[in-house]
Amino acid sequence: MITLQHVFYLVGALFAAWSILSLLDRSNPKRVGNFLFWGLVALSLVAGHRLGDFTNGLIVLGLSLIATFKLMARGRPSTEDSERSAAGELHGNRLFLPILIVLLTAVLGTLLYLYTPLSGSGLFEAGRETFILLCIGVLLATAFIFAWLKPPALAPLDEGRRLIDAVGWAAVLPLMLAALGLVLRDTGVGQTIGTLMLAVIPEGSVLPAVIAFGFGMAVFTILTGNAFAAFPVMASAIAVPVLIVAYGGDPAVIGAIGMLAGFCGTLMTPMAANFNLVPAALLELKDEYGVIKAQIGTAIPLLVVNILLIYFLAF
């Protein structure tokens, strides 16, 4: 059976390769920092399930220290911008074929596996089929690229390292923030916030409770970088006990629009690195927070609208 751990092995091997290539890049003045950072990520992926919570915690602290003290820098790319531009002009939209292979393998492969007799074969771990097929799609697309373009053997790894160096430490931030959401949920933060809110909000006051919920979703998303991490906290604090149980609000409206309120926070936080910092890095913007600054003017009015929609539609 192919399990999710096999996917971790594959991705961990990729990070290990980037770690070694970083160490060999003498043009990078901080190559040791890159080597250690990507090496720790690889170690966590490959052996994290065997290391235990304490050791994994040390790995997270190590990653945080490397990022905090800015011990990473971009390595020298294996290709020049002019080379990549020339290749793009030569092949045009055909360069999207490998991406289509990845998507079709993940989507069609999942449908074929789940809704045909293959589902009883036990080939893939239950509930992880799409993740596994996504990785298989990447391998198939890579094989297609070698057959079609015949690049140097290390080209995929070198180009991957160029992109991951451009993103930097922010590449692993979504993983850490997803874990943070689970920590907040399991430690009872939602119940604590709910107790405090009930002490402040007058009994029977629907609008202040809605404002607290919508604003809280945005704030917790700003802090965690993930509306899905904020939702369990604010749902257990205000949405379920106050808005739904006490005031009889519509759960579907409160849940759906509440998530939209959280997404307003996504537009305003560097913690949502994959949305805000990664594009700035890949586009090589002069201001790394330029994406966030451009979005704030939309995020704040949209948050107000979402709060009003919950109030008028859910009650």
Q: What are phi and psi of 2, to 5 degrees?
A: -90, 125
Q: What pLDDT, on a 0 to 100 scale, did the predictor assign at position 2? A: 92
> Span 54-83, mean pLDDT?
86
Nearest CA to 174 among 252, 69, 275, 38? 275
* Mean pLDDT in residue range 47-71: 92
- Cβ-contact 184, 178 below 8 angstroms: no
Q: Is the pLDDT of residue 314 over 70?
A: yes
DSSP-assigned states of every residue in 55-70? HHHHHHHHHHHHHHTT
pLDDT for the residue numbered 249: 93
* pLDDT of the residue at 195: 76
Token pair 């604090």 is at which residue? 237
Query: Which residues fall within 8 angstroms of residue 296, CB to CB, at 6 or more apart?
Result: 267, 268
Non-local (6+) Cβ contacts of 129 within 8 A are: 109, 110, 113, 114
Per-residue pLDDT of 222-246, as tens digits, reads 988 888 878 888 888 889 888 999 8
Q: Which position has the token pair 């594009």? A: 279
- pLDDT value at position 19? 96
pLDDT per position as a tens digit, 124-166? 998 899 999 999 999 999 999 999 989 888 889 998 998 888 8
Over pLDDT 90: what percentage of the chain?
54
- 144 conformational bin, left if phi > 0, alpha if psi -120 to 50, beta if neither: alpha
Mean pLDDT of the chain: 88
| Average pLDDT, integer, range 196-202 | 77
Q: Rounded distance, CA 241 to CA 251, Å?
A: 11
Residue 180 has pLDDT above 80, yes or no: no
In angstroms, what CA-CA distances link 224 with 176, 263, 280? 9, 12, 20
Residue 93 is classified by DSSP as G
The predicted structure's pLDDT at residue 24: 92
As a whole number of angstroms, the distance between CA 225 and CA 292 comes to: 13
Listed range (135-144, 192-201, 303-312) with the worst mean pLDDT:
192-201
Per-residue model confidence as pLDDT tens digits over 80-96: 667 777 877 888 889 89
What is the dihedral angle through the alpha carbons of 284, 285, 290, 291, rounded to the nearest 10 degrees? -40
> What's the rounded mean pLDDT across residues 244-264?
94
pLDDT at 85: 79
Instruction: Yes or no: say if 182 and 189 are a contact pair by the CB < 8 Å rule.
Output: no
Amino acid at 172: V
pLDDT for the residue 301: 96
CA nearest to 289, candidates 304, 272, 303: 272
57, two tokens: 């915690």
Which residues is 124 bridged to in the sheet?
2
Per-residue pLDDT at 181: 66
What confidence category does residue 204 fall into, taking pLDDT thresholds of 50, 70 and 90?
A: confident
Q: Residue 119's pLDDT is what?
A: 83
Q: What span, in angstroms and rounded, lies between the C-alpha atoms of 46 and 247?
A: 48
Q: At residue 106, does pLDDT exceed 90?
A: yes
Instruction: State the pTM of this model.
Output: 0.76
